[in-house]
Structure 1
Amino acid sequence: MPEDVFAPWDDPEEKPLIRFQNVTKSFADSIVIDDVSLDIYEREFLALLGPSGCGKTTMMRMLAGFETPTSGRIELSGKNIVPLPANKRAVNMMFQSYALFPHLTVWDNIAFGLKRSKMPKDKIAARVEEMLKLTRLGKFAGRKPHQISGGQRQRVALARSLAKAPKLLLLDEPLGALDAKLRQETQFELVDIQETTGTTFVIVTHDQEEAMTVASRIAVMDEGKLIQVDTPDRIYESPNSVYVADFIGDVNIIEGRARKQGADLYGIDWADGQRLLAVTSERAFTEGQPCHLAIRPEKITISADKPVHADNAVQGKILDIAYLGNLSTYHVELPGGMIIKAQTANTRRMSPRSFTWEDAVWLSWTVTAGILLAE
């Protein structure tokens, strides 16, 4: 592996900074976290991603010390931190509301935790200046929170959280209050700050795009379980289940039965009177096993004429068109009533659309474009 590739999770010699070992958390009769084991590495930016109620915030609160596991062990640098109270952990948490003190200036908000820890005045001043520089807030140091923008308040909360140099910073939906454009800008700022400080970040989000942008790895959760933990590209290109494929990005899911065609080649029997769909798969499927073909809309080509040498080609009729500026998404109805989405990039300004509603079109894709999933 090249030296500059950051992937400690692929190195068996690398020891994790955080280790969840068979952690379960129950409230009354309800299991919120179900026997979860997870390693998080130093300098990593991990995203806990999932729908509301999947357990991601409970995972974070247990790390912070606000909740205690019902069973299992949580380690920080090899030591069990479950018995430690929140204020004795080298962990800081940044809340969605930012929780800034309205009567204090930006400078004093950042200095607050340092003053409470009895740090000498000159060291406090030096550390606050360092944090102001890191978050580009120098010229706002004398302002109160209500005198700065939402994005700047977010950076003040981040500077305050990082001021005490925690080993681990927990971010609970930190960009939820920002508008879409500012959120996008702030995502890149977060990544830059995390790389500069080398602090391990764990972010809780239900926004898949945010997770894909900021995280070195994503832990996809559902109903208290970890479904897949992997890098953003692997989660997108090689999901391990229909749930993950469907949760991250846009996807077409075609149900059928697997028919062995060659070494790693399968035909998918998916509709009466239709040719088998060809797909390669490293996962083995038995003859006739129910399966799902997951294929991203951008991997499907749309054309007026039947493609001559395509691995897979199906004909349908355009039902809907979504024009998204940079992309157009075509919803194409196949003879059996199934609707498949295909995407094209709008690379030329004001170029006329090739297809319109009710047009008969062909959809085609290669044998390696889709991924075959059992469930």
Structure 2
Amino acid sequence: MSQPVFAPWDDPNEKPLIRFENVTKRFGDFVAIDDLSLSIYESEFFALLGPSGCGKTTMMRMLAGFENPSAGKIELAGKNIAGIPPNKRAVNMMFQSYALFPHLSVWENIAFGLKRGDMSKADIAARVEEMLKLTRLTKFAKRKPHQISGGQRQRVALARSLAKAPKLLLLDEPLGALDKKLRQDTQFELMDIQESTGTTFVIVTHDQEEAMTVASRVAVMDEGQIIQVATPGGIYEAPNSVYVADFIGDVNIISGTVKAAGENMYHLDWVANEAPLLAASERPFSDGQEAHLAIRPEKIAISTEKPTEMKNAVQGTVLDIAYLGNLSTYHVQLAGGQVIKAQTANTRRLSRRTITWEDKVWISWSATAGVLLER
């Protein structure tokens, strides 16, 4: 039996765990969050993604209780949480610095928050053991933070944050201090832990790859506003703007004016002396409207001969080749001066390259390969 798809945001009867309703946050004259509304559901792994200063950490701090909104309201499980102090919320926050107590062992670090409640010693011990097992730290229980690696310290901080079984765990750039390989391994560990506890995770990150890997949904932010909220696949394949397309992964943007070319089909006039490009779009455009065609490099084919089947084929010259082991990216300059990236997978061992620098080549793609955007 196949598992039901996890998509509570598509179910009108689902009530969100967190609701931002027309939230604005000002610091003096500076508007950090601008009339923002957002729903996050139980058991989601939700990512707030954006450049530094876009407001994502301010949102996180409002959820944690370190800041209150200047206008609008934030609800957690249906209750307005404005004015509720951080220690009285069913919310825990894990900081980038991990903030572990250096003089306490791993075991004592995890137990610290539990000892301040009214749990019995036996219950505390059982809970700490459970957290050690969950984060695979059992054999490091007696060590001090300086005696374990950065990745293990990160897991201690996670175990401590989860020990009190919060409804919501906030993670502020939690993997920022780890090197790339460890970071990737830890992303999968985080996903496993989130899935096995069912806790709602909200992660703040400026790393697109991280957000795309771990999250059930991603909110792309800019200047205090949410530009788009969607699943990682939705953000990548169907961005709603040039900003989102450009922020996530590599993309080519070709701008011009459109005119209708049949049902859900448009011609894009993009440069003088070149045939218009054909693009499919379910979003309607009017004739003469300015539009931007966003196409991912992996959706563009490159060949020495002119392809006959493809709807869009343009000739250019190879300026640059980036060999990335599994992929090669070709930078092709077109007659109008625009540089387009085309990517091919290196499925065979490196034999002699058929296409090299300065070669005249054809790049081609289908009418459905790109997304036509208004802004």
Output the TM-score relative to the length of structure 1: 0.99
How much has 1:309 moved relative to structure 2?
1.4
Structure 1 residue identity aligned to 2:7: A
How much has 1:83 moved relative to structure 2?
1.7
* Aligned ranges 1:26-175 → 2 under 5 Å: 26-175=26-175
Root-mean-square deviation (Å): 0.7
Structure 2 residue identity aligned to 1:319: L
CA distance in 1, matches of 2:44, 2:358: 49
Specify the SS of the correspondent of 1:48: strand
> How far does the alpha carbon of each residue in 1:3-44 deviate from its partner, in whole angstroms, 9 at most, with x for none?
520000000000000000000000000100000000000000
CA distance in 2, matches of 1:136, 1:109: 15
> How far does the alpha carbon of each residue in 1:207-233 deviate from its partner, in whole angstroms, 9 at most, with x for none?
000000000000000000000000000
CA distance in 1, matches of 2:91, 2:265: 49
CA distance in 2, matches of 1:310, 1:361: 14
CA distance in 1, matches of 2:112, 2:196: 22
CA distance in 2, matches of 1:15, 1:352: 58
CA distance in 2, matches of 1:223, 1:350: 45
Specify the SS of the correspondent of 1:219: strand
Specify the SS of the correspondent of 1:272: coil
* Aligned ranges 1:325-344 → 2 under 5 Å: 325-344=325-344
| Residue of structure 1 equivalent to 2:345 | 345
Structure 1 residue identity aligned to 2:271: A
* Aligned ranges 1:1-375 → 2 under 5 Å: 4-375=4-375
How much has 1:354 moved relative to structure 2?
2.0
Specify the SS of the correspondent of 2:132: helix
Specify the SS of the correspondent of 1:24: strand
Please say which of residues 345-354 and 63-72 is displaced more in the overlay.
345-354
How much has 1:118 moved relative to structure 2?
2.9
Please say which of residues 282-291 and 347-356 is displaced more in the overlay.
347-356
CA distance in 2, matches of 1:351, 1:316: 24
Specify the SS of the correspondent of 1:114: helix
Structure 2 residue identity aligned to 1:17: L
Specify the SS of the correspondent of 2:221: strand
Specify the SS of the correspondent of 1:308: coil
CA distance in 2, matches of 1:10, 1:295: 27
> How far does the alpha carbon of each residue in 1:328-350 deviate from its partner, in whole angstroms, 9 at most, with x for none?
10000000100000000011122
> How far does the alpha carbon of each residue in 1:278-300 deviate from its partner, in whole angstroms, 9 at most, with x for none?
00000110101000000000000
Specify the SS of the correspondent of 2:166: coil
How much has 1:261 moved relative to structure 2?
0.5
CA distance in 1, matches of 2:100, 2:3: 40
Number of residues paired by the alignment? 374
CA distance in 2, matches of 1:110, 1:177: 20
Specify the SS of the correspondent of 2:192: helix
Structure 1 residue identity aligned to 2:279: V
Structure 1 segments (4+ residues) deviating >3 Å: none
Structure 2 residue identity aligned to 1:354: T
Structure 1 residue identity aligned to 2:321: I
Specify the SS of the correspondent of 2:101: coil
CA distance in 2, matches of 1:33, 1:250: 28
CA distance in 2, matches of 1:203, 1:366: 36
CA distance in 2, matches of 1:155, 1:17: 25
CA distance in 2, matches of 1:208, 1:69: 27
> How far does the alpha carbon of each residue in 1:136-195 deviate from its partner, in whole angstroms, 9 at most, with x for none?
000000000000000000000000000000000000000000000000000000000000
CA distance in 1, matches of 2:173, 2:287: 45
> How far does the alpha carbon of each residue in 1:47-93 deviate from its partner, in whole angstroms, 9 at most, with x for none?
00000000000000000000010001000110000120111100000
CA distance in 1, matches of 2:298, 2:360: 19
How much has 1:116 moved relative to structure 2?
1.1
CA distance in 2, matches of 1:115, 1:72: 36
Structure 1 residue identity aligned to 2:324: L
Structure 2 residue identity aligned to 1:324: L
Structure 1 unmatched runs, 5+? none
Output the TM-score relative to the length of structure 2: 0.99
Structure 1 residue identity aligned to 2:179: D
Structure 2 residue identity aligned to 1:55: G
Structure 1 residue identity aligned to 2:317: K
Q: Give % identity.
A: 75
